[in-house]
Structures are given as C-alpha cells and as structure tokens.
Structure 1
Amino acid sequence: MILEALGSAVLGLVLSWAALHRLAHRLPARPLVLATGVAGALFGDFVTHSALGPGNAALSLVGAAIVSSASLSLLLRPAGRLRRSAPA
C-alpha cells in the first residue's frame, strides 16, 4: 500500500510537470499546479483502492492518473481574451 501511494504521488508529480511544461501560459503558479497534481493522484488512488480492494495496483494507478488529470484540468484558464457581447 505504501509503494502504491508513493507511485501514485510520483505519477501525479509527473503529470503536473508535463502540464506545466506544455501549458504553462494557461496555468496558475507552479507550486499550486504541482500540489494539485499530487493531491489529485493520491485521492484517485485512495478512491480506486477503496472501490476495488487490495491486489489491483495497476488499476489504482489508472484511477490516480484519471483523477489527477481531471483536477489539473480544473486549473486551466481560457487561452484568449474573453469576448463580451455588445450591450442590448
């Protein structure tokens, strides 16, 4: 269980680093993105491990990756300026 949690934390860190590398102009501060990726992965691992039980480490890491990427996607800002419609 400890290695599974450590693996999911490393997976979250890798996913958040990749998001920072690829989408740095659309994400907030680096520490927030790194912490969100790791926390999302640990939460995803916890939920998946609770649902499936022990012995499914690979599936728990898949769940960790899914929740981590979903939580990182919530941090994205719009790419361009927001357009306002003309007043009526």
Structure 2
Amino acid sequence: MPSRTTLGGITMLWEAAAYTVLGLLAAYAATRLFPLRFPPGPLLVATGPAGGLTGGLVTYTVLGAGHPVATLPAAFITAAALLSVLAKPAKRGRHAKIRSAT
C-alpha cells in the first residue's frame, strides 16, 4: 500500500492539472464570448492556464488540502482576472467611449 505522502502528492498533481484545465477553459470562453476584445493567440493561451495554476496553488497553500470547493473557483476567477488584463478596449458599439476634440 502506498504511503500517505505519495497519495497526497498524486492528489496535488491532479488538482494542479484541474487548475490548468480551468485556466484553458477561461481562455477559450474569453475568445468565444468576446472575439473582438480577445483575439486568439499564444499569449492568451498561455495566460489562462498560468492564471488558473497560480490562483489554485495560492488558494491551496492558504487553505490546505481537502478544499476543492474553494480552490477550483479561485483558480477560474484568477485566470479570468489575468485574462482581463489582455482585453482590448471596444472600438465601436453602444458601449464605446465617445471622445471629444477638446
């Protein structure tokens, strides 16, 4: 039977993989929901998983093992927050900013 630390390490690897997948899902959702603001590219594809992994691991470190209900949403929210930094401003549409000549 494997030792307890071995099982904990395997569990952590699966959780890290889940954080990365959630980051990829956030990047995919950003490109599909807002195609003009988030053009697909390598920076967007790399930022989503990096944000998910960062948010998940920080939350895992703060709360400890056994809290996937808190760490998984934190990973997705962090990925979305980091992706929002890459968003381009809207150029047209009803939410576009009107600039005056003054």
TM-score, scaled to structure 1: 0.87
- From 3, 7, 23, the equivalent of 1:12 is 23
Structure 1's consecutive aligned runs of 4 or more residues displaced over 6 angstroms after TM superposition are none
Query: Counterparts of 1:3 and 1:75 in 2: how far apart (Å)?
Result: 28
Root mean square deviation, CA, Å: 1.5
Counting matched residue pairs gives 87
Amino acid at match of 2:87: L
Residue 78 of structure 2 is matched in structure 1 by 67
Aligned residues of 2:27 and 2:48 also touching (Cα < 8 A)? yes
What secondary structure does 2:14 align onto? helix
Gaps of 5+ in 1: none
Give 2:9's aligned residue.
none
Contact 1:27 1:75 in 2 (8 A): yes
More helix by share: 1
Matches within 5 A, 1:5-84: 5-80=16-91, 83-84=98-99
Percent identical among aligned pairs is 44
| SS in structure 1 of the partner of residue 88 of structure 2 | coil
CA contact (8 A) 2:31 2:39 kept: no
What's the CA shift for 1:58?
2.3
Q: Is the 8 A contact 1:13 1:37 kept in 2?
A: yes
1:10-66 deviation per Cα after TM superposition (whole angstroms, max 9, x unaligned): 111011011111112112452111111100000001110011001112211111011
SS at match of 2:36: helix
Q: Which runs of 5+ in 2 are unaligned?
A: 1-11
Structure 1 range deviating more: 1-10 or 22-31? 22-31
